[in-house]
Amino acid sequence: MAHPKRKHSHSRTRKRRSQQKATMPLLVACTECKKLKPSHMICPFCGYYAGREIVKVEFKEKKRKIQ
């Protein structure tokens, strides 16, 4: 493996690492249910894409714990 001939300074290392940051995913509003979803994907809430129903989504009721 190659080894560096000289030590890189802290500022040089940090300048390179400044570009390695996480970005927020691009979310758009669904045309049917108006909830946020990833662009170019089927809506996970209603199952529509480009104004057509692609997948039939069944909602499951949440069970509540009675204490």
> Which pLDDT score is estimated for 4?
85
Residue 33 lies in a domain: yes
8 in any annotated domain: no
For residue 61, CA distances in Å to 31, 48, 53, 56, 58 come to 24, 21, 22, 16, 10
Number of structural domains (the chain) is 1
Give domain status of residue 39, yes or no: yes
Q: Which domain holds residue 44?
A: 25-57
38 located within any domain: yes
Whether residue 50 lies inside any domain: the answer is: yes
Q: Does residue 3 lie in a domain region? A: no
Predicted confidence (pLDDT) per residue in 6-57, tens digit = 999 999 999 999 989 888 889 999 998 999 999 999 999 999 999 889 888 8
Residue 11 falls inside a structural domain: no
